[in-house]
Structure 1
């Protein structure tokens, strides 16, 4: 944890949000794995306007992402994250350094979202599982005769869909981009597996390694799915 970064974040909150009830510093700086290009992810709790608000700025030599919320809006966005099984809001508040806590809400909400992250997402429904298998199967079929840029484009989507099946099928949180890869790496560490390495090696390779790894992920859920898949649409 970079104490100078935390003090910079705290000073910003005090200067720009003197009415703040609480504030948290999350993201890579709070985790202790920041890079030279990392920013300060700061969530601020207010009682009312201008929350909710997202704002990007420069402060004290740092790029800053500000997320300004009320308790109601934090709960709303946390609920949306639950639906997509990507705990962005819960991690920003739960996996954080408390910068400011005037009424106990900083510690209270941090503890609540630590518990929410630890509990994991709702399990996949049968329909959600079948849809993921079907989508991955279609991508595998498309990849069979693809090359060049088309192959690269398919692989970039395929590894992510396969990773989401791996994680959400096992009751783990998902993510996007580098966040998704971090979730797979954490899964590997706790389960003694090597899915992250196998998926990334497969994306880079010009052979069947990605196909083999995706089939390995599909296997516990019944493998590929095409014939017999059915999805009912909603009436407009």
Structure 2
């Protein structure tokens, strides 16, 4: 981590639990430090379960020279977050719980971990044909804007939007979880490393030198099995 005076993640997390949540029912250390992907700016993600909490909350604290993100839940509230994450197809809390290293357990963690693992294995809700059609339209709309754009500044942000739409489409049509920010590419790599590399290369070429053709080809190949680009005849909300 570059700071040799800083406590190891697991030691810092354990001290933090003993200091602030010694009476909790269970606690987990999650995130990049558990996956072996920590960087100089990584923090400690700590999930707390305590049935005396009236509701869930999130809090950011600096202690033991670590930035610490606390995700606090009682023994029922986490299920609302599991359900919300399932509906938005972004399993943030289930992933933290399933991967998390146990810091404390009064007999509640194993069953919660099982719920999280079952949810992740199940995958997100399958898109309907109507949803796929709608997503095709919005991808087509962004692609048309991208192709016709002559402004470098505008093109950068159109490409950003297109990247999010395309990553969402390929993952959801293959019943895979999606993500935002760094989890876009992580989710794509979990799905298909070759496609993820192709995706990065296409957008990298545009960001570096303005070359659009690889992105256009990528989008057209993605949409082709679903009927290709969609504009003519599309309707939303018409009765």
TM-score, with length taken from structure 2: 0.89
Distance 1:84 1:174 in 2: 9
Task: Flag as ranges the 4+ runs of structure 1 deviating above 6 A.
Answer: none
Distance 1:75 1:233 in 2: 36
Matched, 1:137 2:140: yes
Give 1:68-79 correspondences, 5 Å limit: 68-79=72-83
Q: Which of residues 80, 100, 104 in structure 1 aligns to 2:104?
A: 100
Query: Does 12-21 or 79-88 show the bigger shift?
Result: 12-21
The one-character-per-residue Cα deviations of 1:158-193 (angstroms, maximum 9, x if unpaired) are: 01110000001000000111111110122123xx53
Distance 1:49 1:70 in 2: 5
CA deviation after TM superposition for structure 1 residue 95, in Å:
1.4
**What secondary structure sits across from 2:24 in the alignment?**
coil
> What value does the CA root-mean-square deviation take over the aligned residues?
1.8
CA deviation after TM superposition for structure 1 residue 86, in Å:
0.6
Corresponding position of 2:3 = none
Corresponding position of 1:186 = 190
Corresponding position of 1:201 = 204
Unaligned runs of 5+ in 1: none
How has the CA–CA distance of structure 1 residues 18 and 153 changed in structure 2, closer, same or farther, with 3 Å as cutoff? Answer: same
Give 1:11-22 correspondences, 5 Å limit: 11-22=15-26
Corresponding position of 2:218 = 213
Corresponding position of 1:115 = 118
Unaligned runs of 5+ in 2: 1-6
C-alpha contact 1:185 1:196 (8 A) present in aligned 2 = no
Corresponding position of 1:39 = 43
TM-score, with length taken from structure 1: 0.91
